[in-house]
Amino acid sequence: MPLIASAFASGLLFGLGLIVSQMVNPAKVLGFLDVLGNWDPSLALVMGGAVAVSAVGTLIARGRGLPVLARRLEIPTRRDLDRRLIGGSALFGIGWGLVGLCPGPALTALAFGPWQVPVFVAAMLAGMALFRIVTSDWPQASFRRGPAGVTDDA
């Protein structure tokens, strides 16, 4: 039960952070991405804050060596860049730039966003399903499950 409560509290805090920072507002995000036009740099501070908090959290976790609510610490070790990572990043960036939403803020905006948000989420889920279907026969796209439900390329 503590793990579920912790996950719920973390998700709630994350969602509230997205709302307060206006990451759920496509116009705000598109203003940040418009570096050659009317650029709004305020989301750079949000991202910088997120990186700083994550860095401190990672240092504390590594120092402890053992998580509070899990059996072992799972910190990614891969550092290589492959075609799938670069292609996926490019697709993510293109989608983010076209509509001003990414998965986390889109799911948060489902509660109060305009009609376009559910359409985006449906398209996102369809794209994820299509990826699974199309790549199921590709050896480089196989996934194996780690002990904590972490997926990693084989």
Q: Tell me the pLDDT tens digit for each residue of 11-44.
A: 999 999 989 999 899 999 999 999 899 999 999 9
14 versus 76: the higher-pLDDT residue is 14
Instruction: Please write down the HEC assignment for all residues of the chain.
Output: CHHHHHHHHHHHHHHHHHHHCCCCCHHHHHHHHCCCCCCCCHHHHHHHHHHHHHHHHHHHHHHHCCCCCCCCCCCCCCCCCCHHHHHHHHHHHHHHHHHCCCHHHHHHHCCCCCCHHHHHHHHHHHHHHHHHHHHCCCHHHCEEECCCCCEEEC
pLDDT at 139: 58
pLDDT at 138: 63
Domain that holds residue 101: 2-153
Residue type, 69: L
| Cβ contact 153:143 at 8 Å | yes
Q: How far is CA 122 from CA 27, 90, 110, in A?
A: 20, 20, 11
Residue 50 has pLDDT above 60, yes or no: yes
Query: Domain total for the chain?
Result: 1
pLDDT at 67: 83
At residue 106 the predicted structure's pLDDT band, cuts being 50, 70 and 90, is very high
Q: Tell me the pLDDT tens digit for each residue of 26-35.
A: 999 999 999 8
**Model's pTM, two decimal places?**
0.71
pLDDT at 13: 92
- Average pLDDT along the chain: 85
Range 110-137 average pLDDT: 88
| Cβ contact 69:61 at 8 Å | no
At residue 72 the predicted structure's pLDDT band, cuts being 50, 70 and 90, is confident
